[in-house]
Amino acid sequence: MGTEPNSVAVAALERGIYLLDRSLAPSPKVRAFQNALQTIRATDPVELENRVHAGTITDLDGVGSSTGRVITEAMTGVDDGYLADLDRRTAIEPTEGRALRESLRGDCHSHSTWSDGGAPLRAMADAARALGHDYLVATDHSARLTVAHGLNEDRLRSQRDELAALNEEIAPFRVLSGMEVDIFEDGSLDLSDDMLGQLDVVVASVHSKMRMPAPDMTRRMVTAIANPHVDILGHMTNRKISGTGRAPSEFDAEIVFAACAQFGTAVEINCRPERQDPPEDLLELAVEWECFVAINTDAHAPGQLEWQTYGCDKAVRCGVDPERIINTWSADELLEWTATKSR
């Protein structure tokens, strides 16, 4: 029998995690599936099959009622059960942005277990490829933002070595090197110019002191936008529209978009459901300034890569020119653009 029962159960639990991440499910629910996955991987195949048939699968540590049902249905051939229902309930269907979504070639903002993401680079790449992308930009956080789990310059070099090996395996799909760098209060960035210059794509975002007075925040953002290594301004208002919420930062949007237009820095449409940043009135202003735009998921797990649909719908509603959306370009076109910006 080998490990076949385990592989079927493992695949079902992994699919469950993907769907839960897609719906931004509460962390405890996702952890329950992750714990069950760890248990099943370590369980003897014969014992696993016997427990499924005896109805004692939930006696295993880490396997609860929901995960036990997923395992049982997968191993007994149930097609329209828990996972099918979860898939229907969490499906993300494009509306007015369907054609634009089909034209996107990649995603320029993603996180992996190199910082605070929930999956390794390979899993993120496989998910992006399954969605029809040609490339994914790995933009993990700095060590300063994520304490021991982020990228300092040594870990960034190690990650780039992993990317080189991974790209050999998964060609022609490509994972491009990048980083989401923090914008300090004075507008400087938390990575040296030397390292920034070695990256394919740089996303710069504010992650602290979000309630600065508007003139100071404007100066802070414009200084970063003007840095020749910065390609994309990430989640520009820093707002949160779900949970306890978070008010947007205050700044002079006309000046910020004028700087983006002048220095060729793309404005990110951050597709995370709790962000949906920028709001539509600001995105329409960015369109007036003829800014470049990047439709990014800011994904921290494979299922979250599907969130680009939200940004595509918003881009169409706000009149964004598809030719100004940098991830409608091929990887080579994107790299040519970022290289030119860095000169």
Instruction: State the pLDDT confidence band at 23, using cuts at 50, 70 and 90.
Output: very high
CA dihedral sign, ordered 20, 22, 28, 32: positive
**8 Å CB contact between 270 and 302:** no
Instruction: State the pLDDT confidence band at 20, using cuts at 50, 70 and 90.
Output: very high
Distances (CA, A) of 11 to 5, 7, 8, 277: 10, 6, 5, 34
CA distance 192 to 190: 7
Same domain, 128 and 163: yes
The HSE-up count of residue 13 (CA atoms within 13 Å, CB side) is 29
Same domain, 86 and 110: no
Same domain, 108 and 202: yes
Residue with tokens 């054609």: 99
**8 Å CB contact between 319 and 281:** no
pLDDT of residue 150: 82
Mean of per-residue pLDDT scores for the chain: 95
Give the domain CATH number at 272: 3.20.20.140
Same domain, 85 and 103: no
Same domain, 204 and 324: yes
**pTM given for the model:** 0.94
Per-residue model confidence as pLDDT tens digits over 95-115: 999 999 999 999 999 999 999
Check whether 2 has a pLDDT greater than 50.
no
Instruction: State the pLDDT confidence band at 243, using cuts at 50, 70 and 90.
Output: confident
Same domain, 56 and 112: no
Q: Which of 90, 120, 147 is the last residue of a domain?
A: 90
| Total number of domains in the chain | 2
Per-residue model confidence as pLDDT tens digits over 256-269: 999 999 999 999 99
Structure tokens at 317: 């509603």
Produce one character per residue of 128-159: b if its CB has 16 or more CB atoms within 10 Å, e if not.
bbeeebbbbbbbbbbbbbbeeebbeeebbeeb
Please report, in angstroms and rounded to a whole number, the separation of the first and last CA atoms in the chain: 60
CA distance 317 to 303: 24
The HSE-up count of residue 340 (CA atoms within 13 Å, CB side) is 9
CB atoms within 10 A of CB 341: 18
Same domain, 121 and 199: yes
Same domain, 121 and 255: yes
Same domain, 119 and 214: yes
Per-residue model confidence as pLDDT tens digits over 330-341: 999 999 999 987
Instruction: State the pLDDT confidence band at 147, using cuts at 50, 70 and 90.
Output: very low
Per-residue model confidence as pLDDT tens digits over 29-41: 999 999 999 999 9
pLDDT of residue 208: 93
CB atoms within 10 A of CB 298: 23
CA dihedral sign, ordered 241, 286, 191, 219: negative
Same domain, 82 and 112: no
Q: Which of 25, 57, 90 is the last residue of a domain?
A: 90
Same domain, 49 and 102: no
Per-residue model confidence as pLDDT tens digits over 60-82: 999 999 999 999 999 999 999 99
**8 Å CB contact between 166 and 175:** yes
Q: Which of 56, 90, 124 is the last residue of a domain?
A: 90
Residue ranges making up the domain that contains 308 = 98-341
Same domain, 135 and 276: yes
Closest CA to 18 of 133, 128, 97: 128
CA distance 279 to 81: 38
